[in-house]
Amino acid sequence: MNLHQWKNTIKNFNDKFSENKEVQKEWNINTKANLPLFKKENSIWNLDFKYSGKDEKAFFLVGSSPALKKDVLLLKDVNRDNSRILCCNSSLKFLLRHDVKPDYVISLDSDKIDIPQHLDIDRDDITLLASSATHRSVLDKWKGPIYYLPYYSLDDELKPKIRAKLGRKVPSGGNSMTEALFVATVIFGAKVIVFVGTEYCFDKDYYADKTAAKQEKLKTLYPAVDVLGNKRWTLPALYQYAIWTEKACGDLTPPAVFIDTSFGLLGKDTDIIYNKTLEDTLRLVDEIFKGKKDGLQIAELRVRKHDRDKGEVLRYDLSAQRDKLLQFARGRS
């Protein structure tokens, strides 16, 4: 995915949310309160190349759907020599209660009720990736490192201030898993992505951890059919998240391997995302990295084209374009 494609994708994500003027007002208020915290040193771009080259890692992106209940203990078996765990804020406490420590937790929302509860933990060995619109109470209480993602669904007067402190051009938005996907691939350069607890559908409750659920009751339910053909339920927002994630995986041509272990909506309408059990996936990831140590390539990365409106759009080889993208994001193009 090139920079222009990513910006358009995020703009489409954020336009959906910014229709709610009250939410956008909250983003603006939080961002203004957070401005003194932002520095070049704690910008998300200062994590670039952390896992590149010989240090390349697979990334397990952990949501909070019902599938996490059956898979949480298996996450203890993630090989930290070749993998990292990045979770959303609503799954953090559930993981910790089961002795699974994520390396990173991501939080985009400005919510001043649930998000502070999700991230109220007493430890300093987890890195928080927070949007610039995250509520200040979370940032003041967090004991570990914090890196900030610029959130650009804001008033025009705020956007240049965010760019000046956190870097140019690449905004955050969408939902936690689409942003986690962006961080894992573009910032960390991961080529193996595993989705855990991201069904985007459910039988009765959406959250694996009921204490992480929103306070309001689920209202507008829609019937859905998961990848195994089971009849489930979904919400309009969850269905949109699945579409966004599949689109992002399609545009991010490399990484070469996307695996969903939840058997929900992901992978139903695309051949880009593979469905495997987490147990099988853990073995596969170890095999991939063993082969890499033996000199094999994870996959053949290449530029691909596809037709769109009588024209051709390049799907960039992410590895080849990444350095230029990072320099551009820092304003050094």
| Model confidence pLDDT, tens digit, residues 92-103 | 999 999 999 999
Q: What is the pLDDT of residue 102?
A: 97
- What is the total count of domains within the chain? 1
- Residue whose pair of structure tokens reads 């949007």 in the numeric block: 131
**Which residue, among 134, 164, 160, 137, has the nearest Cα to 148 in the 3D structure?**
134
- Taking only the tens place, the pLDDT of each residue in 267-311 is 877 778 888 999 999 998 998 888 776 665 554 333 333 333 333
Q: What is the pLDDT of residue 314?
A: 29
- Taking only the tens place, the pLDDT of each residue in 112-122 is 777 878 888 99
Q: Which residues, 6 or more positions from 277, have their beta carbon under 8 angstroms from its beta carbon?
A: 261
Q: What percent of the chain has pLDDT over 90?
A: 30
CB 82 within 8 A of CB 286: yes
Q: What is the pLDDT of residue 311?
A: 31
- Taking only the tens place, the pLDDT of each residue in 64-76 is 999 999 999 999 9
pLDDT band with cut points at 50, 70 and 90 for residue 316: very low
Cα–Cα distance, 172 to 134 (Å, whole number): 12
By three-state DSSP, how is residue 119 classified? coil
Helices 3-18 and 318-329: crossing angle in degrees, nearest 10, is 60
pLDDT band with cut points at 50, 70 and 90 for residue 150: confident
* 282: containing domain: 3-329
CB 187 within 8 A of CB 45: yes
Q: What is the pLDDT of residue 312?
A: 32
**Which residue, among 165, 160, 156, has the nearest Cα to 38 in the 3D structure?**
165
The verdict on whether omega for the bond into residue 255 sits within 30 degrees of 0, i.e. cis, is yes
Cα–Cα distance, 89 to 108 (Å, whole number): 9
Instruction: Specify the DSSP element, H or E, that contains 259.
Output: strand 257-260
CB atoms within 10 A of CB 122: 6
Side-chain-side CA neighbours of 186 within 13 Å: the count stands at 28
Cα–Cα distance, 175 to 10 (Å, whole number): 10
Cα–Cα distance, 323 to 329 (Å, whole number): 10
CB 193 within 8 A of CB 259: yes
Average pLDDT rounded to a whole number, residues 216-235: 81
Residue 319 above 50 pLDDT?
no
Cα–Cα distance, 170 to 179 (Å, whole number): 11
